[in-house]
C-alpha cells in the first residue's frame, strides 16, 4: 500500500476544507471513507480548492470531520489512485495539477426512456389468479430451499430439460404439436426467440415475409438484425401467399400469426395454411409461427397450430408465458425442426450462453401440477367478461361511429371507423380520451392504412374498461363531427 504523507511540515493548506458531507453527491449509508472521498471529489471538481494546493494532514481532517484517521487515510489513498490528488513523501498530499476529465466535466444522460403505460386498453397486461400466485410462491420457495449445483455453473443453452419436457407435454395437449423436449429451447420471449432463430437460418440481407398489418416489434427486430422485411398483405383468410410470392419469391422465411392474426384477429384458413407450407417446402424456407395468445380461445375448441399440421418440418413455433402467467417472468420458448437443433443451439450459446435457471423449476411445477391449467381456466373467464363489456360499451356508446367485431380468441379487439374516415380522426379521439392501446393505422406498413383502434382488455378492471370505452366513443363521435364540419367549410 502506498504510504500517505502526514503533511507534518507547515504549509499554506486550508485548516478547514469546505466539505459538503450531506449533499446529493453523497451515497447514504456508505462507509465514512467513501462519503469523505465523495465530498473531497465534489470539492475539487467544483474548484473550491485549486490544482496543486496542499490538503490538510490526515489528523487535522479527521478532527474537522469527526471521522477516524484511518477513514481519512483511506479516502486520501483513493483520491490519489483516481488521479484527484498526488503525494510526495515528506511534503504532503496535494490536489492534482490536472483533474480527470470524466469527473471534472460530469454529463447528464440525454436519452429519456419512458416505461410503457398501463392504463385501460394497454396491450400486454395480464391477470393471475391469487390461488395461482400462492402456488407459484410455494413452488419458488421449495426450489430455493432445495438450491442445487445446477445454478452454480453454465447450463444447457436450451434451458432445463425438466421445463422443456413440461412444455412439450403442454404443446401436445393444447396445440396438437408433438415434439421431443430436445426440440424445445427456452428464451426470454418471442422477440428473443426470433433473433436467435433468424441468426441461425439466415444470412445478412435475406428477405423475410411479414404480415401487413402486423406486429411492429417483430418487423423492427427483423430489420434491426440485418434482414429485409417484405410487406405481405393480410385479408379475411390470413396472409396472402400469392402476394408474398410476387413480392419476394426468393424469401428465406415468413413471420406469421396464423391462429389469431395481429392485429386484425383473423384466423388463417386451412387452404391458406397449406399454401404457406407448400411455399416453404418448395422454396427451402421456414415459417416462424408466433402463437402469442393461442391459449385464450373463447368459442369452440383450440385451433391446431401450424407447426402441428407441419409436424415441425418447415415451421418454427414460438410461444411465451408472458400472457398465460405474467410478463415479469420473462420466459418464452420455441419448438424447432430437428434439422435446426444444432445450428440454433450454437446461435443461442454465442448470443447469451443459456437462460436463467432460478424460475425454470417453479414454472415446470406449475405446468406439471395442474396449477397452470387451473389458472388459465379462471382468467379465461375474466377475460371473456372484459371482452364482452368492452365490445358492448363501444358499440352502444359510439352510436354507429365504430364497428367492433367481437374476437373469438386473444386479449385485444379492434374498433374501426368506416374506411373512408380520415386517419386523423382516430388519432385526435385517442388523444382527447387519454386512451392507451394503439392506433390501428400504426400497425400498417406498406398496405393502405385504416382508421381505428387496437384495444387490450386483459388485465384491466371491467369498470375501468367501461368508463374508458364510453370516453373513447364520445371523443370519436366528436372528432368525426369536427372533421365533417371542417370538410363542409372547405
Using pLDDT thresholds of 50, 70 and 90, give the confidence band for residue 6: very low
* Residue 1 confidence (pLDDT): 43
* Residue 9 confidence (pLDDT): 43
How many domains are contained in the chain? Answer: 3
pLDDT at residue 168 greater than cutoff 60: yes
pTM: 0.80
pLDDT at residue 10 greater than cutoff 70: no
Using pLDDT thresholds of 50, 70 and 90, give the confidence band for residue 403: very high
How is residue 54 annotated by DSSP? B
Q: How far apart, in whole angstroms, are the C-alpha atoms of residue 44 and residue 84?
A: 8
Using pLDDT thresholds of 50, 70 and 90, give the confidence band for residue 113: confident
User: In the numeric block, which cell numbers belong to residue 333?
Assistant: 420458448
Q: Are residues 90 and 199 in the same domain?
A: no
Q: Are residues 55 and 186 in the same domain?
A: no
Does residue 199 belong to any structural domain of this protein?
Answer: yes
CATH code, domain carrying 452: 3.90.1150.10
Domain extent for 466:
377-488
Does residue 83 belong to any structural domain of this protein?
Answer: yes
Kind and range of the H or E element at 184?
A: strand 184-187
Give the closest residue to 288 by CA, choosing from 299, 280, 298.
280
Tell me the per-residue pLDDT of 250-268, one tens digit each, with 9 for 90 and over: 999 999 999 999 999 999 9
8 Å CB contact between 437 and 429: no
- 392 burial (CB, 10 Å; 0-12 / 13-18 / 19+) is middle
* Residue 368 confidence (pLDDT): 97
Does residue 461 belong to any structural domain of this protein?
Answer: yes
Give the closest residue to 275 by CA, choosing from 307, 311, 240.
240
Share of the chain above pLDDT 70, in %: 95
Residue 369 exposure: Cα atoms within 13 Å on the Cβ side: 14
DSSP string for 138-152: HHHHHHHHT--GGGG
Q: Are residues 390 and 351 in the same domain?
A: no
Peptide bond connecting 387 to the previous residue in cis, omega within 30 degrees of 0: no
Using pLDDT thresholds of 50, 70 and 90, give the confidence band for residue 229: very high
Of 74-78, 111-115, 164-168, which range is least confident? Answer: 111-115
Does residue 57 belong to any structural domain of this protein?
Answer: yes
pLDDT at residue 8 greater than cutoff 70: no
Q: Are residues 331 and 385 in the same domain?
A: no
Does residue 19 belong to any structural domain of this protein?
Answer: no
How is residue 405 annotated by DSSP? P
Q: Are residues 320 and 227 in the same domain?
A: yes
How are beta strands 253-256 and 207-212 bridged, if at all?
parallel
Of residues 454 and 294, the one with the higher pLDDT is 454
In the listed set 80, 95, 110, which residue is the last one of a domain according to the structure? Answer: 95
Q: How far apart, in whole angstroms, are the C-alpha atoms of residue 314 and residue 283?
A: 10
Give the closest residue to 318 by CA, choosing from 203, 445, 186.
186
* Residue 26 confidence (pLDDT): 87
Q: Are residues 167 and 301 in the same domain?
A: yes
In the listed set 75, 95, 115, which residue is the last one of a domain according to the structure? Answer: 95
Using pLDDT thresholds of 50, 70 and 90, give the confidence band for residue 108: low
Q: How far apart, in whole angstroms, are the C-alpha atoms of residue 137 and residue 319?
A: 23
Does residue 457 belong to any structural domain of this protein?
Answer: yes
* Residue 29 confidence (pLDDT): 83
Q: Which residue has the cell 407450407?
A: 277
Q: Are residues 431 and 471 in the same domain?
A: yes
Q: Are residues 213 and 347 in the same domain?
A: yes
Query: Which whole number is the average pLDDT over 125-142?
Result: 95
Q: Are residues 322 and 389 in the same domain?
A: no
CATH code, domain carrying 66: 1.10.10.10
Using pLDDT thresholds of 50, 70 and 90, give the confidence band for residue 14: low
Q: Are residues 262 and 402 in the same domain?
A: no
In the listed set 79, 95, 111, which residue is the last one of a domain according to the structure? Answer: 95
Q: Are residues 186 and 329 in the same domain?
A: yes
Rg (CA), the chain: 31
pLDDT at residue 3 greater than cutoff 60: no
Q: Are residues 387 and 465 in the same domain?
A: yes
Give the closest residue to 352 by CA, choosing from 164, 181, 224, 193.
193
CATH code, domain carrying 307: 3.40.640.10
pLDDT at residue 433 greater than cutoff 90: yes
Does residue 470 belong to any structural domain of this protein?
Answer: yes
Does residue 228 belong to any structural domain of this protein?
Answer: yes
* Residue 15 confidence (pLDDT): 63
Amino acid at each position: 500500500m502506498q504510504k500517505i504523507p502526514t503533511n507534518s511540515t507547515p504549509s499554506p493548506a486550508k485548516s478547514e476544507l469546505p466539505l459538503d458531507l450531506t449533499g446529493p453527491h453523497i451515497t447514504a449509508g456508505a462507509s465514512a471513507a467513501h462519503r469523505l472521498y465523495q465530498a473531497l471529489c465534489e470539492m475539487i471538481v467544483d474548484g473550491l480548492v485549486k490544482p496543486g494546493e496542499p490538503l490538510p494532514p490526515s489528523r487535522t481532517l479527521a478532527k474537522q470531520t469527526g471521522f477516524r484517521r484511518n477513514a481519512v487515510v483511506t479516502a486520501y489513498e483513493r483520491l490519489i489512485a483516481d488521479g484527484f490528488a498526488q503525494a510526495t513523501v515528506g511534503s504532503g498530499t496535494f490536489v492534482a495539477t490536472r483533474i480527470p476529465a470524466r469527473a471534472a466535466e460530469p454529463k447528464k444522460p440525454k436519452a429519456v426512456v419512458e416505461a410503457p403505460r398501463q392504463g385501460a386498453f394497454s396491450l400486454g397486461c395480464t391477470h393471475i389468479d391469487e390461488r395461482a400466485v400462492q402456488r407459484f410462491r410455494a413452488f419458488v420457495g421449495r426450489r430455493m430451499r432445495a438450491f442445487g449445483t445446477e445454478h452454480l455453473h453454465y447450463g444447457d443453452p436450451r434451458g432445463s430439460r425438466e421445463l422443456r419436457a413440461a412444455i412439450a407435454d403442454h404443446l401436445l395437449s393444447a396445440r396438437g404439436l408433438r415434439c421431443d423436449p430436445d426440440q424445445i429451447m427456452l428464451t426470454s420471449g418471442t422477440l428473443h426467440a426470433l433473433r436467435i432463430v433468424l441468426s441461425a437460418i439466415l444470412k445478412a440481407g435475406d428477405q423475410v415475409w411479414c404480415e401487413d398489418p402486423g406486429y411492429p416489434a417483430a418487423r423492427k427486430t427483423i430489420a434491426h438484425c440485418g434482414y429485409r422485411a417484405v410487406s405481405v398483405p393480410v385479408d379475411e383468410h390470413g396472409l396472402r401467399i400469392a402476394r408474398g410470392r410476387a413480392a419476394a419469391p426468393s424469401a428465406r422465411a415468413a413471420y406469421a400469426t396464423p391462429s389469431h392474426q395481429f392485429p386484425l384477429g383473423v384466423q388463417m384458413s386451412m387452404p391458406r395454411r397449406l399454401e404457406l407450407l407448400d411455399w416453404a417446402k418448395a422454396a427451402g424456407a421456414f415459417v416462424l409461427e408466433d402463437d402469442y395468445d393461442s391459449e385464450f380461445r373463447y368459442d369452440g375448441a383450440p385451433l391446431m397450430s401450424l407447426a402441428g399440421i407441419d409436424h415441425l418440418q418447415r415451421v418454427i413455433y414460438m410461444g411465451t408465458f408472458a400472457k398465460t402467467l405474467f410478463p415479469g417472468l420473462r420466459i418464452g420458448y420455441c419448438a424447432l425442426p430437428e434439422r435446426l437443433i444444432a445450428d440454433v443451439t450454437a446461435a443461442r450459446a454465442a448470443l447469451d450462453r443459456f437462460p436463467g435457471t432460478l424460475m425454470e423449476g417453479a414454472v415446470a411445477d406449475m405446468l406439471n401440477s395442474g396449477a397452470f391449467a387451473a389458472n388459465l381456466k379462471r382468467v379465461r373467464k375474466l377475460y371473456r367478461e372484459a371482452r364482452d363489456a368492452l365490445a358492448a360499451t363501444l358499440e352502444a356508446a359510439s352510436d354507429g361511429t365504430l364497428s367492433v367485431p367481437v374476437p373469438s380468441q386473444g386479449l385485444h379487439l379492434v374498433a374501426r371507423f368506416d374506411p373512408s374516415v380520415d386517419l386523423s380522426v382516430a388519432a385526435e379521439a385517442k388523444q382527447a380520451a387519454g386512451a392507451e392501446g394503439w392506433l390501428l393505422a400504426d400497425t400498417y406498413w406498406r398496405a393502405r392504412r385504416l382508421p381505428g383502434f387496437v384495444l387490450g382488455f386483459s388485465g384491466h378492471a371491467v369498470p375501468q374498461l367501461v368508463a374508458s370505452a364510453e370516453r373513447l366513443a364520445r371523443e370519436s363521435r366528436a372528432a368525426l363531427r369536427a372533421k365533417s364540419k371542417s370538410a363542409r367549410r372547405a
